[in-house]
């Protein structure tokens, strides 16, 4: 694990021991819950000429794939059907809920994934009684109940939690708010969007991490209040081929608060 300061012109290499993917391998960017592909715009501006796809997750906007079944497996299969066919596989970048989906995509459809980049992600979002790090179960249940009755107020709480620990919290909150999924705060809430929150609350990929073999770069904010750093450390230790980079002075919203540093780490990982 290496820590990268809040301002870092030179970043340590995250080069993997395997051969780099071809330049034609696309980057597939999977955003977080209640967000939209617009959340990736700052990072896309920093990345090179590699092909980039940034689909909307189910229930998160026009053109989003429609799962045949609720839950993590249904969402993952729906996303897999949208990926380009090719012999090399894609480089799948997942943030938060998108990271959970990226892990399951690599497990269920290994031929579609060449490498993984996980940002603010974990194999289980909810802390458990055994001491596994994560978000407190009461907080998660509060989000589920609150989203069912008052989506707007719940999203405001969710945005605030994402931005805790950011060096420029006000600017980051504005950026996160501007990148929300269309009509995410409508009442009654979209049931597919609510299912995304249930996926965060209920999914646990920890027993299956040994099945996920693509080289993996994990990028995590040192001050992440939504998903503690200890969860990323546990994830890096459990995956067969993972390395962790920690961005100092940052919280959960790294694609919006630290896009240049995320891009440098991703580019180094792909060399």
pLDDT for residue 128: 87
pLDDT for residue 2: 66
68 as an active site residue: the answer is no
Check pLDDT > 60 for residue 130: yes
- Rounded average pLDDT over 11-28: 65
257 as an active site residue: the answer is no
Check pLDDT > 80 for residue 24: no
3-state secondary structure of 133: coil
| Torsion angle of C-alpha atoms 47, 51, 57, 61, degrees rounded to 10 | 90
pLDDT band at 9 (very low <50, low <70, confident <90, very high): very low
Q: Which of 31, 36, 60, 96 is catalytic?
A: 96
pTM of the model: 0.93
According to DSSP, the residues that pair with 116 across neighbouring strands are 92, 216
Q: What is the pLDDT of residues 154-166, one digit of tens each?
A: 999 999 999 999 9
Query: Which residues make Cβ contacts (< 8 Å) with residue 227, sequence separation at least 6?
Result: 96, 120, 121, 122, 125, 134, 135, 220, 252
Check pLDDT > 50 for residue 133: yes
CA 150 – CA 135 distance, rounded (Å): 21
- Rounded average pLDDT over 170-176: 96
3-state secondary structure of 131: coil
Choice among 57-71, 147-161, 168-182, 233-247 with the minimum mean pLDDT = 57-71
Q: Which of 224, 250, 257, 261 is catalytic?
A: 224
CA 17 – CA 39 distance, rounded (Å): 31
What 8-state DSSP symbol labels residue 240?
T
Q: Which of 31, 252, 257, 261 is catalytic?
A: 252
Domains of the chain: 2-269 (3.40.50.1820)
- Rounded average pLDDT over 92-96: 98
224 as an active site residue: the answer is yes
**94: enclosing H helix or E strand:** strand 90-95
């Amino acid at each position: 694990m290496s820590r990268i300061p809040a301002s870092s012109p030179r970043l340590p290499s995250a080069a993997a021991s395997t051969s780099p993917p071809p330049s034609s391998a696309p980057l597939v960017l999977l955003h977080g819950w209640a967000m939209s592909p617009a959340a990736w715009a700052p990072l896309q501006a920093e990345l090179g000429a590699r092909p980039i796809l940034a689909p909307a997750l189910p229930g998160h906007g026009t053109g989003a794939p429609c799962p045949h079944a609720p839950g993590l497996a249904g969402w993952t299969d729906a996303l897999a059907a949208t990926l380009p066919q090719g012999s090399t596989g894609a480089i799948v970048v997942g943030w938060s809920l998108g990271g959970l989906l990226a892990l399951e995509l690599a497990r269920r459809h290994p031929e579609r994934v060449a490498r993984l980049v996980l940002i603010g992600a974990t194999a289980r979002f909810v802390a458990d009684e055994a001491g596994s790090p994560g978000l407190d179960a009461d907080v998660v249940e509060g989000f589920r109940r609150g989203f069912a009755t008052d989506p707007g107020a719940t999203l405001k709480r969710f945005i605030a939690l994402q931005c805790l620990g950011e060096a420029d919290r006000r600017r980051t909150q504005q950026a996160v708010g501007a990148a929300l999924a269309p009509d995410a705060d409508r009442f009654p809430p979209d049931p597919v969007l609510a299912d995304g929150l249930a996926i965060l609350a209920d999914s646990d990929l920890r027993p299956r991490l040994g099945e996920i073999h693509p080289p993996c770069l994990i990028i995590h904010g040192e001050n992440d209040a939504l998903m503690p750093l200890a969860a990323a450390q546990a994830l890096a230790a459990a995956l067969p081929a993972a390395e962790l980079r920690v961005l100092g002075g940052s919280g959960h919203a790294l694609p919006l608060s630290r896009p240049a540093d995320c891009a440098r780490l991703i580019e180094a990982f792909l060399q």
